[in-house]
Amino acid sequence: MSNDKLNATGYGPPSDPWAALAAHGAVVPPDDPPPVDSAEAYASPGRPPWAVQEPARRGLPAWAWVSMVLGGLALLVAGGMVAGLTGSSGPVPVVPAVSAPAAVNTSGTCEKRIVGEYGLVATVRATNASRTAQTGVLWVRWPITGEAAQEFTKRATLAPGQTVELPVNQEVKAERWFRTGACSYGWTPDPAEGVDGELVDWAWPTTPTVTPVSRRTIEVVDKIGPSKWHVSAAAEWLDRYTASNMKTVRKCSGKAWRCITIRGGKLGGNALDMSYGGRNLIVIDTAKVDRRGYRSDASRKKIMAHELGHQFGLGHSSGRNLMSTSLPRVTLKLTGGQRAHLHKR
């Protein structure tokens, strides 16, 4: 056995320091590094023991990625189902409401007017545009600064297509007239019974309170000559058959439910007298009446009662009664239909 072999296996004194290091596990560098272009790069043995060790970064496993994707899809499906279940009860976009056509249409005019006197004049109409009967109140209103509004009403039940008219011709004092504002008018339906006994809610506007017929005071202004025509006698006779309360006054008080003015004037043609329902006015052609020979109190009372009947809505009729079309046939008598009509006025 040679000495070199002994030294190489560690059985003898080291003759080569690199061999000794190799025997203990150390890396022995080569004598001459091979050329770069002909040698493989040495693999790094890793970070040295004294370097700071950082925790290893590990990517998510495949099963985690699959779970995340499946979970997202599940959330989307669940959200769609919840939206579908709650969509009908959740907030609803605001859609402009389409107003239904009115069951009763109103038209006409109302104004403040000076025709020799300060007055409030109106002629308003209500027409049933529906296919069923409509019950309510036709009203006209003037606001007055410093006091309650001046209001007039007319209650009616309208058949389909029927029209009712409310005339107003109210005299007012000058001071009050100047405090009166612009007028308005309309129709207020009565509350009606709804389906299954429930009450239908109506939006009642700020309209005049309906005065019961039995409490309606109608003032009759005598401007034709009390000593000759005795207007009060005719008004008292007709008032026995009405539900209202007529009284003769010198001028309108402004507090009555209605005020009718009677005065003299000239009428064209053969007309002796004329009742203007829309203006609450009765005009008598006194000169023509006298020329025709109707000068007695009885004749004048019949003429006056006849025209007041028109103001209460009575029309002309045949036969011998108060509303006959011929003055010689006019009598202080009423038919059953006329009595029934006045009983509600």
Mean pLDDT of 157-165: 92
Q: Are 303 and 327 in contact (CB under 8 A)?
A: yes
> What is the tens place of the pLDDT at every residue in 261-314?
998 888 888 888 888 766 788 988 888 888 888 888 888 899 989 999 988 888
Q: Tell me the residue type at 33.
A: P
Residue 128 is predicted with a pLDDT of 94
Q: pLDDT category, 167, cuts 50, 70, 90?
A: very high
**Is residue 337's pLDDT more than 60?**
yes
**Banded model confidence at residue 24, pLDDT cuts 50, 70, 90:** low
pLDDT band at 122 (very low <50, low <70, confident <90, very high): very high
Write down the pLDDT at residue 36.
47
Using 50, 70 and 90 to split pLDDT, how confident is the model at 37? very low
Q: Are 324 and 330 in contact (CB under 8 A)?
A: yes
Place of tokens 């052609």: 285
Q: Quick one: average pLDDT of 214-232?
A: 82
69-78, 175-184, 292-301, 329-338: least confident range: 69-78
CB neighbours (10 Å) of residue 254?
Answer: 16
Per-residue confidence band for 160, with pLDDT thresholds at 50, 70 and 90: very high
**Confidence band for 191, pLDDT divided at 50, 70 and 90:** low
Q: Minimal CA–CA distance to 321: which of 307, 331, 306?
A: 331
Averaged over 249-253, what is the pLDDT?
Answer: 88
**Would the pLDDT of 207 be above 70?**
no
> Under 8 Å CB-to-CB from 207, ≥6 apart: which residues?
137, 139, 141, 151, 153, 186, 188
Q: Identify the pLDDT of residue 292.
A: 85
The predicted structure's pLDDT at residue 138: 92
Please tell me the distance from the alpha carbon of residue 33 to that of residue 41, in angstroms, as a whole number: 11
Contact call for residues 162 and 133 (beta carbons, < 8 A): no
Helix axes 297-311, 231-239, angle to 10 degrees: 50
CA–CA separation, 187 and 107 (whole Å): 10
pLDDT higher at 129 or 145: 129
Q: What is the mean pLDDT of residues 75-87?
A: 58
By percentage, how much of the chain surpasses pLDDT 90? 17
Tell me what percent of the residues of the chain surpass a pLDDT of 70: 65
User: Given pLDDT bands bounded at 50, 70 and 90, which one contains residue 126?
Assistant: very high
In this prediction, residue 237 carries a pLDDT of 93
Contacts of 225 (CB under 8 A, 6+ apart): 264, 286
Higher pLDDT, 75 or 328: 328
Domains of the chain, first to last:
104-191+200-210 (2.60.40), 214-342 (3.40.390.10)
Computed over every residue of the chain, the mean pLDDT equals: 75
